[in-house]
Amino acid sequence: MFYQCPKCKKVWQYPIGKCPDCFLNLERIISEKIKVIGVSKVTIPTVLHPKAPYFVLALEDEHNNRWIEKSSQEYKIGDEFKREKMRNKAGVAILRVKYDIASAVEEIIQLINGIKFNSESKILILPTLISPQHPYFAQNTNPEILDALIKYLIRIGVKSSNIKVAAQSFDEIPIEASAQKSLLLKVCLENKITPLDLAKTTFLNKGKEGIIFKIAEEVFNNDIIINLPILKLDSKFKVKGALTNILKFLKKESYFSLKYLHDDFKIIERLQEVLPEYLTIGDGITVQKTTGHTSFVGLILASFNPSHLDRVFAEIAMAKDLPDYLKKININEIPIFGRKIEEVQYDIEGVGSSTR
């Protein structure tokens, strides 16, 4: 997506807000017909691009805007470049986020191709909110991701009164403190969304194979659930994201009681069997390593299958010694849409670390 000044017609590939010369709001230019105008084959691997050979494409849209993109697939000059929409809900969509988070969120929802929104849709959004930290620490979901999602939903006709952003604290820190410092509360208030503390709501009992879960009733009272985790590397889970974030739908006391009887991995697996279908959009823009340091990765992932999304992220990050619930998933059987794994894959934990 590009942005153009309506007066001087200058174009930017990122949303700077206003034209610096004319001081007018920029208009969006959507690229619909894209063709390949140049191809370069790279045969030498690097730290950030370990899979070689790959191709660097020069692309041009119908508005004569040009940009480059990495591809694992070989194209010829003149070929049409088009992203295939998801045909299978077990699939995972992957996109690079360069300058424009809003357009990336919009594009990945369109790639999903299996979810319908209307003015009466009731939507429950669950971002990662675990710590009163500023966004650059990558502890909580990036507020720009949440803001882009809410604005997109409102733009396509969803009523703001039908959107709920939920969270709850599993420790002694008030959820209000985390919401304020993470800037997620600011996003909600600016978009006229009332944040929801799940700890103050009603919970229902749902059982599976002898395990009784107390799940927030809100989960079953909404038409569409969007799990919006930030993706991280973790010493225990190897990757934390879709599956661990959804635990916040459980009642705090119930969850800690279950932990005395079952390990986290079993709880995660069984919980998926009693929850309704939900869409996960994973924030992989800035990823926190096991050391607590962060790395700009610039990715956004989406899927209706949270296990597959976490497995794909683990493959992208080249994570090792995965827990059994991820290890048993054959990565080659997961349909991938948007960017290919090998196009965005590198050792996230190792890059920039002195202990590689």
Domain edges within the chain: 2-71, 92-344
Kindly report the number of other CB atoms within 10 A of residue 55's CB atom: 17
pTM exceeds 0.75, yes or no:
yes
Among 110-114, 261-265, 283-287, 319-323, the range with the most confident prediction by mean pLDDT is 283-287
pLDDT in tens, 274-325: 999 999 999 999 999 999 899 999 999 999 999 999 999 999 999 999 988 8
Is residue 119 classed exposed, middle or buried when 0-12, 13-18 and 19+ CB atoms within 10 A define those classes?
exposed
Distance (Å, rounded) from C-alpha 17 to C-alpha 343? 30
**pLDDT at 353 (0 to 100):** 58
Q: Are 247 and 255 in contact (CB under 8 A)?
A: yes
- Answer yes or no: is pLDDT of 32 > 80: yes
Q: Are 169 and 175 in contact (CB under 8 A)?
A: yes
Query: Where does residue 176 fall: left (phi above 0), alpha (psi -120 to 50 degrees), or beta otherwise?
Result: alpha
pLDDT in tens, 182-230: 999 999 999 999 899 999 999 999 987 778 999 999 999 999 999 999 9
**Distance, CA of 228 to chain centre:** 6
Closest CA to 184 of 144, 242, 244: 144
Residue 354's pLDDT band (cuts 50, 70, 90) = very low
On whether the 92-344 domain is CATH 3.40.50.11440, my answer is yes
Q: Please state the rounded mean pLDDT for residues 235-264.
A: 91
- Answer yes or no: is pLDDT of 355 > 60: no
